[in-house]
Structure 1
Amino acid sequence: MRVVIARCSVDYEGALQAHLPLATRLLMVKADGSVLVHSDGGSYKPLNWMAPPCHLTELAPDEAEREQGVTSVWLVRHAKRDDTLRVRVHEVLQESSYDLGADPGLVKDGVEAQLQQLLAEHVHTLGEGYRLVRREFPTAIGPVDLLCRDPGGGAVAVEVKRRGEIDGVEQLSRYLELLNRDPHLAPVAGVFAAQVIKPQARTLAADRGIRCVTLDYEALRGMDDAESRLF
Structure 2
Amino acid sequence: MRLVIATCSVDYAGRLAAHLPLAKRLLMVKADGSLLVHSDGGSYKPLNWMSPPCTLAASEPSAEQAEAGITELWTVTHTKTADKLVVSIYEVEHDSDHPLGIDPGLQKDGVEAHLQKLLAEQIELLGYGHTLVRREYMTAIGPVDILARDAAGGAVAVELKRRGDIDGVEQLTRYLELMNRDPHLAPVQGVFAAQEIKPQARTLAEDRGIRCLVLDYDAMRGMDDGHHRLF
TM-score by length of 1: 0.52
Distance 1:230 1:196 in 2: 22
Question: What residue is the counterpart of 1:170 in the other structure?
Answer: 170
- Is the aligned partner of 1:127 residue 2:149? no
1:109 shift after superposition = 8.4
- Is the aligned partner of 1:158 residue 2:158? yes
Distance 1:146 1:175 in 2: 11
Distance 1:153 1:175 in 2: 19
Q: Which residue type is aligned with residue 177 of structure 1?
A: E
Aligned partner of residue 143 in structure 1, secondary structure: strand
The one-character-per-residue Cα deviations of 1:141-187 (angstroms, maximum 9, x if unpaired) are: 00000000001100000000000000000000000000000000000
Q: Which residue type is aligned with residue 132 of structure 1?
A: L
Q: Which is higher, the Rg of structure 1 or of structure 2? A: 2
RMSD value, Cα = 1.7
Q: Which residue type is aligned with residue 162 of structure 1?
A: R
1:228 shift after superposition = 2.6
Distance 1:216 1:109 in 2: 13
Distance 1:224 1:110 in 2: 14
1:227 shift after superposition = 2.9
Question: How many corresponding residue pairs?
Answer: 125
Q: Given the superposition, is the C-alpha separation of residues 108 and 223 from structure 1 closer, same or farther in structure 2, using an over 3 Å criterion?
A: closer
Give matches, 1:152-231, under 5 Å: 152-231=152-231
Distance 1:112 1:128 in 2: 23
TM-score by length of 2: 0.52
Distance 1:109 1:183 in 2: 38
Question: What residue is the counterpart of 2:143 in the other structure?
Answer: 143
Distance 2:111 2:186 in 1: 31
The one-character-per-residue Cα deviations of 1:66-93 (angstroms, maximum 9, x if unpaired) are: xxxxxxxxxxxxxxxxxxxxxxxxxxxx
Q: Which residue type is aligned with residue 138 of structure 1?
A: M
Q: Which segments of 5 or more consecutive residues in structure 1 lack a partner in the other structure?
A: 1-106
Question: What residue is the counterpart of 1:114 in the other structure?
Answer: 114
